Amino acid sequence: MNDYFEHKNTNTLFQRYKGNPILIPARWPYLANATFNPGAIKHHGESLLLVRVENMCGFSHLTIARSKDGKTNWQIEEKPFLAPKSTLEEEQWGLEDPRIVWLEDRQEYAITYVCFSKDGPTVSLALTKDFETVERQGRMLPPEDKDASLFPRKINDRYVLIHRPIIRGEAHIWISFSPDLKYWGDHRILLPVRPGWWDCSKVGLGPPPIETREGWLIIYHGVRTTASGSLYRVGLALLDLDEPWKIIRRSSHWVFGPQVPYERVGDVPGVTFPTGIIVNEESRELRMYYGAADSNVSLAIANIDELVEYILNCPEENQ
């Protein structure tokens, strides 16, 4: 707690793209109330976003948008890629907030997304090789669970999942392990909420973990409930490469949060909710795609080495 007056300005780590918001419901090819919280991945040289689209019944589905430069000229598909199936109990109230990783060992993409129904939110897994056909694998863990992503590779021969169950009303980030993507165990709390801090009410993983030489870089959202609603801001953590349940550092400051009108005005004001990243290994540019105010998709850009340097300089005791 000795860095209340830290001098480095954390507000400059991410730069908002000048053309924000990049995707809005008014430009959708079909009627939509909100377009937000997208999964992101490079596919055939293009940036692919799997966007959460809320329809006018208040239920969400997931639709693909592609762009050559990742910023402009988004080609939005006319039909959802993943829409709730009437025969699946867990999908009755819609599909939300996908995260995407490329699983090298299986040569396919894994999409973890939230299924909503009267049972509460749960995380389901779908696999695709081409973003044309998709195979649902069902629920990964019981409700209530959200904000989940696989790591992009096995660690010590096990798949690893970060997720956010709510247990006894507490919303901490957990980590779990599986030999086969089906049976999960070795569950433990990874990043707890910090009473009193900006991330005191809830925390949840943002985009998938990013492998760096120094550790797995984690971008997460932290929530504080205020008199006029919830504020969703963004923090960083760094996990040990081989033992990812060990936290090397956790930022004491938030590094990104609602500031500009398209983040402060919308269906849920005061929300910045990152769910997708695309990293350019050569230029070191990290593009963070996020939902703003539960209404639009926006983009913020950082340098990955600067993020790692920043987190390594955060004091150890804030874990």
Q: Which residues are at the interface with ligand BMA (CB under 6 A)? A: 37, 96-97, 232, 268, 271, 273, 291, 294
The neighbour count for residue 8, using CB atoms within 10 Å, is: 13
Q: How far is the CB of 273 from ligand BMA (least distance, A)?
A: 4
Q: How far is the CB of 202 from ligand BMA (least distance, A)?
A: 7
Q: Which is nearer to ligand BMA, 55 or 212 (CB)?
A: 55
Q: Which is nearer to ligand BMA, 121 or 244 (CB)?
A: 121
Q: Which is nearer to ligand BMA, 173 or 308 (CB)?
A: 173
Q: Which is nearer to ligand BMA, 100 or 308 (CB)?
A: 100
Closest to 222 measured CA to CA, from 206, 238, 239, 209: 206
* 230 three-state secondary structure: strand
Q: How far is the CB of 149 from ligand BMA (least distance, A)?
A: 14
In what order do the strands lie in the sheet containing 108-115?
Answer: 95-103, 108-115, 122-128, 135-139
Q: Which is nearer to ligand BMA, 273 or 310 (CB)?
A: 273
Rounded-to-integer distance, Cα 177 and Cα 183, Å = 8
Q: How far is the CB of 230 from ligand BMA (least distance, A)?
A: 7
The neighbour count for residue 68, using CB atoms within 10 Å, is: 12
Q: How far is the CB of 114 from ligand BMA (least distance, A)?
A: 7
Q: How far is the CB of 96 from ligand BMA (least distance, A)?
A: 5
Question: Residue 165: which H helix or E strand, with range?
Answer: strand 159-165
Q: What is the DSSP letter of 184?
A: -
Rounded-to-integer distance, Cα 153 and Cα 157, Å = 9
Check: CB of residue 12 under 8 Å from CB of residue 288. Answer: no
Q: How far is the CB of 124 from ligand BMA (least distance, A)?
A: 15
Q: Which is nearer to ligand BMA, 90 or 294 (CB)?
A: 294
Contacts of 197 (CB under 8 A, 6+ apart): 222, 224, 252
Rounded-to-integer distance, Cα 23 and Cα 295, Å = 9
Rounded-to-integer distance, Cα 311 and Cα 239, Å = 11
The neighbour count for residue 106, using CB atoms within 10 Å, is: 13
Q: Which is nearer to ligand BMA, 161 or 203 (CB)?
A: 203
